Structures are given as C-alpha cells and as structure tokens.
Amino acid sequence: MTANNEFVQYVLELLESLGRLTAKAMFGGFGIFRQGIMVAVIADNMLYLKVNDVNRQNFEVQRVEAFKYQKKDKVLAMSYYQTPSRQRTILSLCANG
C-alpha cells in the first residue's frame, strides 16, 4: 500500500468544502482526518471514504469496493469504501454521511 503526496494534496483540495482536513502518513498510505477523526484512507492512490449505516447503501449502489488488507493469511475489509471517479458523486457521498 503506497500513496503519492501529489494525489494526497489533490484529495485535500477536492474535499476542502467539508472543512479543515489533515493527512497523516500511515502504513505506506495516508489517513485523512477531520477534527481528529479519520474520515478517509488513501492507499495506492485510491481514495476510500469512511462508511456508516447512514451512507453505506449509497456506496453499495455505486458498486464500489471496501478497503481490504491482508493480515497473515486473512483478507480483512474495513468500513472505508472506494470512491467513484466522478468528483460530484464523491462530494454527494460525503454529504450523506
């Protein structure tokens, strides 16, 4: 899992309407934080947004994948879902969660 700093800066600019966000390097990728809470993950230059019971269906309808990682011999899925490539869709998904 790696991430490019240029892509991280692009994501921060894209989501600036959500308020002050910060990025922290983590495990070869980045965590994106708002008010100290991780709201997104960037891995392999792909943005994954935090999903909850309120907005999970919005992501599932878009047929996007959950963030997964391998730990020993298991593949684990987290509650962060890949974002669609369209900027307007990304911002609408953020607004519903």
CATH number at residue 48: 3.30.1460.30
Query: What value does the mean pLDDT of the chain take?
Result: 84
* Placement of tokens 């269906």 in the chain: 57
Rounded mean pLDDT, 58-83: 89
Residue 96: inside a domain, yes or no?
no
Residue 56: inside a domain, yes or no?
yes
Q: Is 89's pLDDT higher than 80?
A: no
In the chain, how many domains are there?
A: 1
Residue 37: inside a domain, yes or no?
yes
Q: pLDDT band at residue 28, thresholds of 50, 70 and 90?
A: confident
Q: What are phi and psi of 24, to 5 degrees?
A: -130, 130
Residue 23: inside a domain, yes or no?
yes
Q: Which domain covers residue 16, as residue numbers?
A: 5-90
Dist. CA 75–CA 12, nearest whole Å: 28
Residue 41: inside a domain, yes or no?
yes
Residue 69: inside a domain, yes or no?
yes
pLDDT at 59: 87
What pTM was estimated for this model as a whole? 0.78
